[in-house]
Amino acid sequence: MENKSKIESIGVKLPERCVTTRDIISKLKIFNPPNLERMSGIKERRFCAENEDSYTLAVDAVNDCLSRSKYKPEAIDMVVCCSISRNKDGLTTVFEPPLSLFIKESIGAHQALNFDIANACAGMLTGIYIVDSFIKQGIIKTGLVVSGEYISNLSETAVNRIRTATSSQLASLTLGDAGAAIVMEKTDQNDSQALKVSGFTTFSEHNNLCIGRQCHTSPGGIMNTKRRKIHSAAILELPKILKAALTDSNLSFSQIDFFIPHQTSITSIKAGMQQMIKKLKGSPGETVTNLERFGNTASTSHILALHRYLQEKRIKKGSNILMTALASGLVIGCVIFSIKDLIQTYGNTN
C-alpha cells in the first residue's frame, strides 16, 4: 500500500508583548501617515521580549506541539526548520550549525535528520512538501516542520527609515513575531486525512518584488516590498495553480470548507479572493483571516491561523482545508487535507 503523510499535531508560540498598529504609526516620522489599520486589517501584533528570538519561539512551538502529540521527541525522525529569520541569542543570525540542530538538541530528538530550508513565507509549506516526500518514500515515519519568526526588528528598522506614505518598507510594519510547529506522520492512501501536496512552483521572474536582508550598520533586518506588483503577480499566477491542485484532489473550490491563504493584509486577501472566486467559479466555505490580532507572521502564518480556528472549535470533523503559499520568489504552492483526528487534540469531539 502506498505511503502517505498526514498532520498529527500542531503547536504555536506567541510572545506576550502586544504592540498596536496605532503605537507603530505614532512613531513614524512622516507628516501624513497611512491608515495602516484600515488597509491591513491589523490592530495589533506580538513582539518578542528581550529573552525571545527565532530559536526560543521555535522550541516553545515544538514543545506546545509535542504536548498534543502521541510522539516523544526521540521518536521524531526528521527536523526541518523553515524560518526566514534564524536568530539565536537575540539578533545573532545562525548560519552554521543550522538552527534545526539547536532545536533538535533542545527538544531531545538527538539523532533526527535535520536541516534548515529557506523559502521566504512559503517556508513551512515547503517544509511540509519535503517531509511529505521523505515519508512517502518510507525514509522516515515522523517529521517535524518548525519555524520561529523573530521579524519585529524589521518593523522597528522601518519605523526609523520610512519617510513617505508610499515607502517600500511599509509592509514591514505589518509584521509580528510567532513560532509554529507541526508533527507529520506516516499514514496510508485510504486515510482521508492524507495530505495532497501539489502545485509548488517558483515564478522566479518576479523574484525582485520583495527583498529582505540583514542591515549592515544596525542590528536586525530590512525588507523592501513592491506591494502592488507582488499582488498583481499573485493574482495572475495563483488561479491556475489552485485549479490544478483542486483537480489533483478531485475537489472543487466550493468543496473547500476553510481556505487559508498567507496572511498579508485584509485588502489583498479580499481582492485576491474576488479574482479566485471568479476564475475558479465557486467560493470556499470560509476564507480564514488571522490578521487582526497577530499581523503577518511570515512562514508561520498558515499554521497560526489553523491553530486559532482549532482552538476556537470552529472546524468540524471532515472539513476540507486548503493552505496556499504565496511568498517572495514568487513561490506558490498548495496543501489540501481533510481534518479529523487533529480536532480531537484540541478537545473538540464534534
Partner 1 sequence: MGTRIETVATATPSSKKIGVQHNSTKLAAEAAINCIQKANLEPEQIEILINTGIYRTDNIGEPAMAAVIQDLIKAHPFGKKKKRLLPDKQTFSFDLMNGGCGFINAIQLIDGLMNSGSLQKGIIVTADVEPRPGYSEGYHFAPIAAALILKPGEKDQGFIQFGTDTYLEYKDCFTGQLVFSKARQKSLLILDQAETYLDACIRCSNESINKFLETNKLGINDIDLIIPSQSPDGLPEALNQISDLKGKVVISNTDLGELHTAGPAFSLEKIWSSQQYNKAQNILFLTVSAGITTAMALYRKPS
Separation of alpha carbons 226 and 233, rounded Å? 11
Applying CB under 8 A, the residues found at the interface with partner 1 are 84-85, 91-98, 100-102, 104-105, 110-111, 113-120, 122, 126, 130, 133-134, 136-137, 139, 199-205, 207, 210-221, 223, 240-241, 244, 327-331, 333
What's the grid cell of residue 50? 528581550
Shortest separation between residue 91's beta carbon and partner 1, angstroms = 6
3-state secondary structure of 260: strand
Residue with smaller CB distance to partner 1, 57 or 330:
330
Residue with smaller CB distance to partner 1, 159 or 330:
330
Shortest separation between residue 140's beta carbon and partner 1, angstroms = 10
Which of 79, 44, 289 is CA-nearest to residue 177? 44
Shortest separation between residue 89's beta carbon and partner 1, angstroms = 9
Shortest separation between residue 23's beta carbon and partner 1, angstroms = 24
Shortest separation between residue 154's beta carbon and partner 1, angstroms = 10
Q: In this structure, are strands 196-202 and 210-214 parallel, antiparallel, or unpaired?
A: unpaired
Residue with smaller CB distance to partner 1, 80 or 181:
80
Beta bridge partners of 147: 180
Residue with smaller CB distance to partner 1, 288 or 331:
331
What's 13's DSSP letter?
E
Helix axes 301-311, 123-136, angle to 10 degrees: 80
Residue with smaller CB distance to partner 1, 203 or 346:
203
Residue with smaller CB distance to partner 1, 130 or 321:
130
Residue 216, class by beta-carbon neighbours within 10 Å (0-12 exposed, 13-18 middle, 19+ buried)?
A: exposed
Q: In this structure, are strands 331-338 and 286-287 parallel, antiparallel, or unpaired?
A: unpaired
Separation of alpha carbons 120 and 171, rounded Å? 14
Shortest separation between residue 95's beta carbon and partner 1, angstroms = 4
Residue with smaller CB distance to partner 1, 171 or 339:
171
Separation of alpha carbons 54 and 330, rounded Å? 24
Separation of alpha carbons 37 and 25, rounded Å? 9
Phi/psi for 77 (5° steps) reads -90, -20
Shortest separation between residue 299's beta carbon and partner 1, angstroms = 10
